[in-house]
Amino acid sequence: METINGRLLNWASILEENTRQQAERTASMPFIYPHLALMPDAHLGKGATVGSVIPTDGAIIPAAVGVDIGCGMIAVRTQFTADDLAGRPLDVLHGRISRSIPLSAGNKNAKIRASAEPRIAELRDMPGANQAHGVAAHWPQQLGSLGSGNHFIEVSLDETDRVWLFLHSGSRGVGNRLAQKHIRVAQDQCARRHVQLPDRDLAYLVEGEPEFDAYIEALRWAQRFAYLNREEMMDRCVDQLGRFLGTEVERHDTVNCHHNYTERETHYGREVWLSRKGAISAREGQLGLIPGSMGAASYVVVGKGNVSSLMSSPHGAGRNHSRGAARRLFTRADLDARMKGIAWGHSDAFLDEHPDAYKPIDQVMADAADLVEVRHTLRQVVNVKGD
């Protein structure tokens, strides 16, 4: 761990100068308490650094939570092993999962499934539902859809060849629109107060004001949507794997965790709003998920409760190159070689998800050795993504 200054601690051994500067700007905000913690996968983000843990007292920065509110991961360990998959056409399983779950930005379900109905009913009854309907009336159709970018669904094998289902997604279009709405409100509030910000995207809302309360309501609704969205997709993955193998899936372990979210937590003796933007909670004994990039290893971990890190850990590999740079740097032939032995989409659309567009997950995990202990190491055999 490196102490950059009294308000900024860093666990990233790979840290670009512009990322460091961005984190320093965020840490300089007057309501940060006790300090900002940079995770090993830290990289440049909107306003605040992706891979940062931001405790705030009396205020929240909406852009520091992120625009994919509640984004996170879910994993299920099944009773199956590699022997159960041996000799079977995994490209067929890839196709079945792809048809069962809407992929790519903007896609949604043609009809609401029975499994989604109680989840949608819960969301309709929550505070924040009116806000959600106001920005994206189609949100019920998007429950159970993946999205694009670095979101994925994987079938993986652990260190003893047990089969896991693992997926990464968030609150989809409705969460993004809610976030953008409240980022604009925060910017308007700061402008009205003539607040001089080091970055416009560090605009904040003040606790005790109606705009703050409205954001918290939307935030909690979107976080719940994201959690249930992952559950709905996992149900479909479980169903498709069971059909593929001709045996009902037994769920031996399940982990579902956010990595773009805010919770009320106590750190260093004070209750604060803790925003994890590209970070997971890693309290002592708490299970978490840290995926690698496409074609790389992923990890099931258990938290060590590191106090200085605000009991947090990285959420993945963290980008090393922008999407545009990745498309210029990497070739389809190289991506094909890196994905050998994995059933995947075989499309140029995934060049910006090339493994080398991300930091080496082995280095990220080495940097996180004081934050989490690895419980399981997963390697993909099926990778489903939206373009």
CB atoms within 10 A of CB 369: 12
Please tell me the distance from the alpha carbon of residue 286 to that of residue 302, in angstroms, as a whole number: 5
Q: What does the pLDDT read at residue 106?
A: 86
Domain that holds residue 368: 2-384
376 is catalytic: no
pLDDT at 295 over 90: no
- Binning pLDDT at 50, 70 and 90, where does residue 77 land? very high
Q: Are 268 and 288 in contact, with CB atoms under 8 Å apart?
A: no
Element (H or E) spanning 312, and its range?
A: strand 312-314
Coil, strand or helix at 204? coil
**What phi and psi values does residue 8 have, to the nearest 5 degrees?**
-145, 115
Coil, strand or helix at 372? strand
Q: What does the pLDDT read at residue 261?
A: 97
- pTM beyond 0.85, yes or no: yes
For residue range 5-62, what is the model confidence (pLDDT) as tens digits?
Answer: 999 999 999 999 999 999 999 999 999 999 999 999 999 998 899 999 999 999 999 9
CATH of the domain at 147: 3.90.1860.10
pLDDT at 67 over 90: yes
Which sign, positive or negative, has the C-alpha torsion 191, 217, 275, 232?
negative
2 to each of 15, 26, 331, 367, how far by Cα in Å? 11, 17, 36, 11
Compute the CA torsion angle 168, 170, 176, 179 (nearest 10 deg).
-120
80 to each of 76, 373, 379, how far by Cα in Å? 11, 25, 15
Q: For the purposes of burial, counting CB atoms within 10 Å of the CB of 202, is it exposed (0-12), middle (13-18) or buried (19 or more)?
A: buried
Tabulate helix, strand, coil % of the chain (nearest 5).
35, 25, 35
Q: What does the pLDDT read at residue 7?
A: 96
Please tell me the distance from the alpha carbon of residue 264 to that of residue 280, in angstroms, as a whole number: 14
Over pLDDT 70: what percentage of the chain? 100
For residue range 322-359, what is the model confidence (pLDDT) as tens digits?
Answer: 899 999 999 999 999 999 999 999 988 899 899 889 99
Q: Are 317 and 385 in contact, with CB atoms under 8 Å apart?
A: no
- Binning pLDDT at 50, 70 and 90, where does residue 228 land? very high
- Binning pLDDT at 50, 70 and 90, where does residue 226 land? very high
Q: Are 176 and 68 in contact, with CB atoms under 8 Å apart?
A: yes
Looking at the 3D structure of the chain, how many domains does it have? 1
From the list 259, 315, 354, 376, the catalytic residue is 315
